[in-house]
Structure 1
Amino acid sequence: MNKKVHIFLFDGFSDWEISYLTPEINKSEKFEIVYFSKDGKPVVSMGGLKITPDISFAEVDANDIDLLILPGGVAWEKGENNELNQFTKNVFEKGKLIAAICAATSYLGQLGILDKVKHTSNDLNYLKAVAPQYSGESNYVNSSAVSDKNIITANGIASIEFAKEIFERICLFEKSDIEKWFQLFKNGIWSE
């Protein structure tokens, strides 16, 4: 049975932040990507891409998730995705892998999920401003992407680093092949 990668989509999500990782995961026979939205209805990305998700949030079973991906978008800063609060906490408490980028990191900060794991975001001051209840400052790492325990975080300009961290954690390819992929997309260098 394939492992399931659930990706939450919402109006205004930052489409480029998942654009490097989704094609590679989708090509794998080991994984199945499940796109979901609040109500299962089409959403429009920040870039204007209209997408019809596979299922609604109500149809998602936290037990079926192997990886939950939360792309960024200003909706997180506005508190527009709060119906996922208990669900996201449950996924975290079950030890399932959660990957968040850009403003979605502030969402994890608001939920207290970042308090005891190493993490990054767009900036520490940004995180503290957007998530006043956040208290994980001692675990903040000023880096493009960070993976610790069952949490992967990345800043908003690190979609390639975000993808790399995810690929490594889910063992999508051999480590040397992930590095080749990274060098190609990050630096335009291909090596055999």
Structure 2
Amino acid sequence: MNICILYYDGFCEFEVVISAIQFKDNYFTVALEDKVYISEEKQKFLPDRIIDQLNPEEVDLLIIPGGNPSYLYENLKLKEFIKQIDKKNKYIAGICAGTYLMASYGLLKNKRCTGGSSGVDITREDMSIFNDSIVVQEDVVMDGNMITATGQSFVEFAFELGKLMNVYENDEEAIVDYNWFKNIK
């Protein structure tokens, strides 16, 4: 399984760190350039690969963290790369504002989805990118090969992705890990 986490300047690291823990040695990071990326939390990250070095067919799941990806809405290289992953019917998962990037690329057209910190507020003027989407107020939503989540549900997001990619041998194993992260006794 090839799980890929996208880095960009200002990405929200905490929203994908549990996903990274879930996939351990089965994930890598990718970005547009081979440079240091500074997260929303002001931590520095160096990607494993750049998009030019990666065949979209090699990606089983692309994870797009939140943060502020609006400067990438018009990035044709990233858009084409992600669209190629979609054409292969591979999974694309976005959390918080990562879903905004997905919507801006047309990936959520006619799809059930969620996003933002605690849900997409379609009454906001800048949310017209969701006009063709079916926005629902749920923590994590899967519609076809698209997975979207609110930023506040980063633990649930990670576990849904883990189940999707068969990280767990059974539901009980997933529940034990989930309960540990949520401090449920």
1:52 is aligned to 2:46: yes
CA–CA distance in 2 between the matches of 1:142 and 1:79?
25
Structure 2 partner of 1:107 = 101
CA pair 177-8 structure 1, distance change in 2 beyond 3 A: same
Structure 1 partner of 2:8 = 10
Shift of 1:80: 5.9
Question: TM-score if structure 2 supplies the norm length?
Answer: 0.89
Contact 1:110 1:132 in 2 (8 A): no
Contact 1:34 1:54 in 2 (8 A): yes
Shift of 1:77: 2.5
Which 4+ runs in 1 deviate beyond 4 A?
A: none
96, 105, 126: which one aligns with 1:130: 126
143, 150, 153: which one aligns with 2:148: 153
Structure 1: runs of 5+ lacking an equivalent: none
SS of corresponding position for 1:19: helix
Structure 2 partner of 1:86 = 80
What amino acid is aligned across from residue 14 of structure 1 in structure 2? Answer: C
Question: TM-score if structure 1 supplies the norm length?
Answer: 0.86
Structure 1 partner of 2:70 = 77
Structure 2 partner of 1:162 = 157
Shift of 1:157: 1.2
| Alpha-carbon RMSD | 1.9
SS of corresponding position for 1:125: coil
Contact 1:127 1:134 in 2 (8 A): no
Can you list the C-alpha shifts for 1:112-155, whole angstroms capped at 9, x where unaligned? 21122221112332586434243334x22201111221111111
Structure 1 partner of 2:181 = 185
SS of corresponding position for 1:35: strand
Contact 2:9 2:39 in 1 (8 A): yes
1:21-60 maps to which residues of 2 (within 5 A)?
Answer: 21-26=19-24, 32-60=26-54
CA–CA distance in 1 between the matches of 2:9 and 2:123?
22
CA–CA distance in 2 between the matches of 1:70 and 1:10?
9
SS of corresponding position for 2:128: coil
CA–CA distance in 1 between the matches of 2:123 and 2:71?
13
Can you list the C-alpha shifts for 1:7-51, whole angstroms capped at 9, x where unaligned? 110111101001111012115xxxx21211111212111112111
SS of corresponding position for 1:147: strand
Structure 2: runs of 5+ lacking an equivalent: none
